[in-house]
């Protein structure tokens, strides 16, 4: 992974692609104020430099039958590195788990879990998550609604940021 020093144009490209990853290179170049060939070279450099990790479609969970989102705070019995990695590996294999964050403090992990309904989540909780090796406790919080969803990070075009 080759790191590059980001200038205003690179930051504009990153911001625009983060907002709309399906934007054509010609449109992206126009917004960045450069021609298409150097824009494509910059995008490739940003990919190679690790600034762009990939592209994906944002799907509607409800349209696919996932009406429930739960944030589960998981505490482990042991915080030894091998136990933390073992839990991460196990939870990574569960399709319902969409995000895994290791935390500092009383909770070891915060999991974002999707399910068709509350009963489906309860089944996942009682048959997979709670009985998993090294799990001491799970605290579940049902998401009522999402007031803001902004994937990625805030990107300014000020090269000093």
**What is the torsion angle, in degrees rounded to the nearest 10, for the CA atoms of residue 134, residue 137, residue 143 and residue 144?**
160
Longest CA–CA span in the chain (Å) reads 57
Taken in order of first residue, the domains within the chain and their CATH numbers are: 8-48 (1.10.10.10), 62-142 (3.30.70.920)
Q: How far apart are CA 54 and CA 48, in angstroms?
A: 11
CA-angle at 149, arms to 125 and 92, nearest 5°: 35
| pTM reported for the whole predicted model | 0.86
The answer to whether residues 10 and 4 touch, using CB atoms and an 8 Å cutoff, is yes
Question: From the first residue on, what is the mean pLDDT of each consecutive set of 10 residues in the chain (161 residues)?
Answer: 83 96 97 97 95 94 97 98 98 98 96 98 98 98 95 82 47
pLDDT at 160: 55
pLDDT at 161: 47
């Amino acid at each position: 992974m080759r790191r590059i020093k980001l200038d205003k144009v690179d930051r504009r490209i990153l911001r625009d692609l983060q907002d709309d990853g399906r934007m054509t290179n010609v449109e992206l170049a126009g917004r960045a104020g450069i021609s298409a060939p150097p824009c494509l070279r910059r995008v490739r450099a940003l990919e190679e430099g690790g600034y762009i990790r990939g592209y994906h479609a944002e799907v509607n969970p409800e349209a696919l039958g996932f009406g429930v989102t739960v944030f589960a705070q998981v505490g482990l019995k042991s915080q030894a590195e091998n136990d933390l990695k073992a839990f991460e590996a196990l939870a990574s294999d569960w399709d319902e788990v969409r995000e895994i964050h290791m935390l500092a403090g009383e909770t070891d992990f915060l999991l974002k879990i999707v399910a068709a309904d509350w009963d489906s989540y309860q089944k996942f909780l009682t048959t997979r998550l709670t009985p998993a090796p090294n799990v001491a406790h799970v605290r579940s919080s049902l998401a009522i609604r999402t007031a803001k969803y902004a994937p990625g990070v805030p990107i300014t075009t000020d090269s000093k940021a």
